[in-house]
Structure formats: structure tokens, C-alpha cells
Amino acid sequence: MGATAVVADLAQTLRNAIEHKTAKVGVIGLGYVGLPLIKAFVEAGYTTMGFDLDESKVERLCRGESYIAHIPSPWIGQSVRDERFTPTACMDRLGEPDALLICVPTPLNESRDPDLSCIENTARQIAAALRPGQLVVLESTTYPGTTRDVLKPILEKTGLVAGKDFFLAFSPEREDPGNPNFTAHTIPKVVGGVNETSLELASALYSNAVVRTVPVSSCEVAEACKILENTYRCVNIALVNELKVLFDRMGIDVWEVIEAAKTKPFGFTAFYPGPGLGGHCIPIDPFYLSWLARKHEMSTRFIELAGEVNTHMPHYVVAKVTDALNTVGKAVRSSRIAILGVAYKKDVDDPRESPSFKLMELLQERGAILSYNDPHVPVLPTMRHFDVPRLASEPLTPEYLAAQDCVLIATDHSAYDWDLVVRYAPLVVDTRNATKNVVSGRHKVHKA
């Protein structure tokens, strides 16, 4: 049998398995992206395997326990019992699935350059078990060229050739945690392959689990698409953050301005200011593009300026806290300050890169006595980039609120009773316009 026939046979075998849902889908990295992806494929009728080096996560999943709020524990337990989902920390089993979807972290290092160590380590683990006919798809957000220039060479050290012996593609993760209108099922998936066969197979796989696939001409286009999506948000959030500071100095409420502007039915999309950027995408991804631009002897001044504006916002908020305390004759030092919300956005349990941690750092440096409440984050996790105290969420009672010198609203969870907060807190600094509908006690509220 000729080489072309062998390639066609491998592709057809995988194509048939995908079509008949006998293909086993493996997801590497069982976090906020990987676990919902498992759920999407299980509910589409596939058998799945979930790989994670964190054995405590794997043990919890095997017991039927979820650690992500919007993935119910009973669903995990039933899927494990039905053998539709097998969690494991054993990377020697990476040869078992027919498709491997990589959902590992891609942080920045101390100098704000891309840290691809998780992708590279995962690629080596896959290479150790890679077999002909497998499909490998990278979902981790990264710069254009990563799939072809970083992932592919590591996998091809096996002697197997991408696009011939195995198939390789990129499909950027798209998650909107806390938004019930968008799930892994309902968000279209952009897909790019290293060749036409890889693109076709990856698109066929995802088309069974998501509402629609959007094939593009290359991995690089798919990678650039994700960077564009998040840079767009970063730049527009920076714009409204900068306008917030300007309008505050002019005595204009930026929130009212945005509400008025968004009545225009064309040419305007509303973005909202806040205490800083959080999450695993927007504070990080634009700097991947800046790094790539430097490699091509270009500068991305617009993106870098947006990053500077957003990075400065926690400092601006702390200055507003200082001013608010000054109005009642108090200093930050020795003041009891409660942070409401440490998750990076409302109604989620994800604290990654949350601006609340930077706020805590800055207030702690100034001598504040800190505490917090977050119904979704019962204990402050240890953070790589932030020096925060070891605290547990305090009950949000009238007594707790009244005992504070200042309550700082950092995340506007739906569970919060803003009337209660304003009624009992002596002083409130609101970074999210959460108290806009509270009438009684408005004199105690300072916008930041």
C-alpha cells in the first residue's frame, strides 16, 4: 500500500469513528476550559478521558465532585459511573484517545513574555504515546505560529509526520464563565489545521459537540483570531477606564454616559470600567501579540498603552479609597477595609488574575486591616503573582458590615444585597456601579 493510501486510510478510519461517535476524546487540562469541554463531548454522545497532573483534581472527579460551579457534581458522578468520562493523572494513557484536545495554561513570565512551558511539556508527554491516526488539537490561547513552530516539531520527533501520520489543528477556547446564555455547546468554534485533512477532521469532531464550526485557512489564522478577540476587549476596556478617570475629574458619571451612548443602535458597543482586568485571557493575551511584534521589529503602541491604563486601575481605586476615608477623618492605615468579591468577574468562582488581589496588596502595604466576602470563593487561594493574606470569606451580616471602616465593591455578584451593604456599611467605594439603584444612604457611596 502506497504512502498516500495509508494516509487516506488513517484519515478515513478516524472520520468514521468521529461520525459514528466511537472515537474517544481526550482533554488535557481539566480546568475552566477543559472540564466544560468534556461535558460538551459527553453530552454529544462521545466517550471521554480527562488528563490532569493535579492528582487532587483527578481524585475529586473520580469521587464525583466538581470544583467548578457551573459543572454540577451529580453530572460528574453519573458520567464517571457510566464510564463516559474517565479522569486520570496517568499521561502514559495519552495513546488511548483518538483525539487529544490541549487546554493547558499559557501565562506570561516575569518579563511579560509568553511562557509556553505547559504546552511544550504536554507536547512531550503526547509524543511519548503518540500513535498513527490520532488527532491533536491545541486550544490554549497563544501567539500565531505556536501550533506549527512549537507543537508540531516536538510531536514530529517521534518520526510521525503531521498531516500524514497524525493530524494537527488549532481551535481557540471560547468560554464566558457566569453567562448561562453561552456554553461550550452554543459558542461557535473557529478551527484551523496544518493541512486540509487535519482541518476537515478537527471540524468534523467539533461539529458534533458545538453549535457551529468556522473553518479557517490555517492554524495561524485561528491563533490570531483568538488574540484579536481578547485584544479588542482589552483596548476598549482601557478606553472606558481612561474616560472614567477623566470624567470623574470633570464631575461626570461615566456609567450614565455609557448608558446614554449604548442607545445608539449602530456603531457603538458598550464596554464597562472596573478596578482592573482579571481572568486568564484579557490581562495576558494582548501581550502575546506585543511580544510577537517585537520579534518582527515592530511595536504595538496601542496595545501596550491599553495594558498600562488597565494595569494602573487598582492604584486609582486605592487612591479613591484613601480619599473616601479622608472625608470621614480616617487614614488607610489601621482602617478595617472589606473587599466584596475576589472572583475576577460576577457570578463565577474563578479568581485567576483578579484585580482584587492587587487591591489587597496595595491596601495591605498601606497598613489596612483586610477582610473579604465572596459567596463563590470561600478561601483565598495562593496566587503566584500576588502576596495576599490567608483569609476566609466572612459572613455578610449587618454586624460585619457595620464593623468596617470602608467596604470596597470589587466584584458585583448577583447574590449581593446592595441595599443591605449600603444600609449597614459606614462607607462604600463602588468600582462596578453596583449600587446605582440604591436610594437610601447614597451619601455614603463613593464611585471609583
Alpha helices in 251-343 (DSSP H): 254-261, 285-295, 301-327
What is the pLDDT averaged over residues 52-74?
94
Q: What percent of the chain has pLDDT over 90?
A: 78
Query: Tens digit of pLDDT for each residue in 307-319?
Result: 889 999 999 999 9
Question: Is residue 91 in some structural domain?
Answer: yes
Q: Are residues 215 and 246 in the same domain?
A: no
Q: Are residues 212 and 246 in the same domain?
A: no
Q: Are residues 159 and 277 in the same domain?
A: no
Whose grid coordinates read 492528582? Answer: 55
Q: What is the domain range of residue 202?
A: 3-223
248's grid cell: 470623574
Amino acid at 388: V
192 forms beta bridges with: 170
Rg (CA), the chain: 24
Question: Is residue 233 in some structural domain?
Answer: no
Q: Are residues 329 and 427 in the same domain?
A: yes
Q: Are residues 386 and 436 in the same domain?
A: yes
Closest CA to 355 of 275, 267, 235, 437: 275
Question: Is residue 186 in some structural domain?
Answer: yes
Q: What's the DSSP call for residue 332? A: S
Query: Among residues 223, 249, 266, which one ends one of the domains?
Result: 223
Res. 443: pLDDT tops 80:
yes
Question: Is 82 exposed, middle or buried, given 0-12, 13-18 or 19+ CB atoms closer than 10 A?
Answer: exposed
Res. 233: pLDDT tops 60:
yes
CA atoms within 13 A on the CB side of 205: 38
Question: Is residue 236 in some structural domain?
Answer: no
DSSP structure string for 170-239: E------TT-TT--TTTS-EEEEESSHHHHHHHHHHHHTTSS-EEE-S-HHHHHHHHHHHHHHHHHHHHH
What is the pLDDT averaged over residues 196-204?
98
What is the pLDDT averaged over residues 20-24?
98
Q: Are residues 117 and 259 in the same domain?
A: no
Query: Tens digit of pLDDT for each residue in 237-253?
Result: 999 999 999 999 999 99
Whose grid coordinates read 510531536? Answer: 155
What pLDDT is stored for residue 444 in this prediction?
A: 95
103 is catalytic: no
Q: How many residues does the chain have?
A: 448
For the beta carbon of residue 14, count every other beta carbon within 10 angstroms: 22
Catalytic residue among 103, 219, 234, 281: 281
Res. 385: pLDDT tops 90:
no
Amino acid at 401: L
Q: Which residues are CB-contacts of 314 (< 8 A; sequence separation ≥ 6)?
A: 275, 276, 355, 358, 359, 362
pLDDT band at 175 (very low <50, low <70, confident <90, very high): confident
What pLDDT is stored for residue 280 in this prediction?
A: 61
In the chain, what are the helix, strand and coil shares in percent, each to the nearest 5? 40, 15, 45
As for how many domains the chain has, the answer is: 2
What pLDDT is stored for residue 295 in this prediction?
A: 81
Query: Among residues 159, 194, 223, which one ends one of the domains?
Result: 223
Q: Are residues 217 and 246 in the same domain?
A: no
Q: Are residues 381 and 249 in the same domain?
A: yes
Res. 188: pLDDT tops 80:
yes
Q: Which residues are CB-contacts of 439 (< 8 A; sequence separation ≥ 6)?
A: none
Closest CA to 173 of 124, 117, 229: 229
Query: Tens digit of pLDDT for each residue in 334-345?
Result: 999 999 999 999
The CA distance from 116 to 150, in Å, is: 9
Question: Is residue 78 in some structural domain?
Answer: yes
Question: Is residue 229 in some structural domain?
Answer: no
Amino acid at 50: G
Q: Are residues 170 and 38 in the same domain?
A: yes
Q: Are residues 289 and 438 in the same domain?
A: yes
The CA distance from 352 to 30, in Å, is: 15
Give the predicted TM-score (pTM) of the model: 0.89
The CA distance from 176 to 104, in Å, is: 17
Q: The domain that contains 301 carries what CATH number? A: 3.40.50.720
Q: Are residues 259 and 196 in the same domain?
A: no
282's grid cell: 484579557
